[in-house]
Amino acid sequence: MARRRKGLPINGVLLLDKPKGVSSNHALQRVRRLFQARKAGHTGTLDPMATGLLPVCLGEATKFSAHLLEADKVYRTRIKFGEVTTTGDAEGDVVERRSLPTTLDRDAVEAVLERFRGEIDQVPPMYSALKHQGRKLYELAREGETVARAPRRVTIYDMRPLGWEPDGVWLQVRCSKGTYIRTLAEDIGAALGLGAHITALERLETGPFDSERRLSLEALEAMSDEERLAQLLPVDVMLEHLPTLSVAETVAQRLLLGQRAELADSQLAPGTTARLYRDESFLGLVELTAQGEVTPRRLVDTTALNSGGA
């Protein structure tokens, strides 16, 4: 069978199982090369030491990746008490050690966990990709600099112990976007007076995606082109939380040209963002106006979708 032509438009979402010790960008580039995709992007960085679900958007799917950046996440992590590190995880240098009790007081830990459920203010770590005056914080941290960071409001929807160890606890955490699990662990350790950092971190869920269909890089590399293409989810899978709007060909053509179009009848309220379809084909995102019109917000390149790929 002839090989797929290099540079063919590939469109869809791949659920990657990112391995430990690999940066999110490095994993992304390996996926892009495997699919020979023109465009690729991921939907939320995982630290190199972290593993788990990393949705990778290819082709036209990259236009909608921001919707997953905004999504809630679920993590499994191991917190080790008694040591504080420079990075908040096991890859950093230990800067403080504290003696632990012979038996970890589970009731005390549970009481502290309860304090961190719900909305909390969290100061982002220095070892993060956030920027200060145009430079990433981790770059400044590596140079020995520390800058003031404003706390950010995040939400811990659920946090429960999965298992106990003499020096730590395994937790499952469901949280809002922008939550740093490393910082959460450090804050829990500080509240207990023990200090803490994480020694393992796995992302289990991102928005509508769980871990059932995630694939390793090794599994992808062992597949044929056709087998890999079959693993891609459709472009609109990231947007299933939004209502749908199906329109006739004439309306679709106006919208695809970037023009507003009148909508004779719609049950959607003004200001609603909706998924646009024509004959069950996804065309992008539109917004309903107070004037009974629909206006384009983010549309796919139908040429790219129709010329090949998923």
Same domain, 84 and 199: yes
The CATH number of the domain holding residue 29 is 3.30.2350.10
β-partners of residue 83 are: 97
Neighbours of 7 (CB within 10 A): 10
Beta-strand pair 273-278/168-175: unpaired
Burial (Cβ within 10 Å: 0-12, 13-18, ≥19) of residue 50: buried
Mean pLDDT by 10 residues, the chain (310 residues): 56 97 95 94 90 96 91 97 96 95 94 98 86 82 84 97 97 97 98 98 96 95 96 95 93 94 83 94 94 92 62
Catalytic residue selected from 17, 47, 187, 236: 47
Burial (Cβ within 10 Å: 0-12, 13-18, ≥19) of residue 53: buried
DSSP state of 148: -
* pLDDT score recorded for residue 306: 56
Beta-strand pair 135-136/131-132: antiparallel
Same domain, 194 and 85: yes
SS3 6: coil
Q: Is the dihedral of CA 137, 140, 144, 148 positive or negative?
A: negative
Burial (Cβ within 10 Å: 0-12, 13-18, ≥19) of residue 21: exposed
* pLDDT score recorded for residue 304: 67
Tokens, residue 262: 């009148």
The residue segments making up the domain with residue 229 are 12-70+208-237
Same domain, 66 and 146: no
* pLDDT score recorded for residue 7: 56
Tokens, residue 87: 């990075």
- The domain boundary residue, chosen from 186, 206, 226: 206
Same domain, 19 and 97: no
CA–CA distance, 289 with 110 (Å, rounded to integer): 49
* pLDDT score recorded for residue 248: 92
Neighbours of 170 (CB within 10 A): 15
7 falls within a domain: no
Into how many domains does the chain fold? 3
Tell me if residue 225 is catalytic: no
The CATH number of the domain holding residue 302 is 2.30.130.10
The torsion angles phi and psi of 132, rounded to 5 degrees, stand at -130, 115
Angstrom distances, CA of residue 58 to CA of 18, 31, 33, 230, 236: 16, 9, 11, 14, 12
Same domain, 196 and 226: no
Residues 3 and 202 sit within 8 Å (Cβ to Cβ): no
CA–CA distance, 219 with 234 (Å, rounded to integer): 20
Same domain, 271 and 297: yes
* pLDDT score recorded for residue 234: 96
Same domain, 102 and 193: yes
Q: Is the dihedral of CA 302, 304, 308, 310 positive or negative?
A: negative
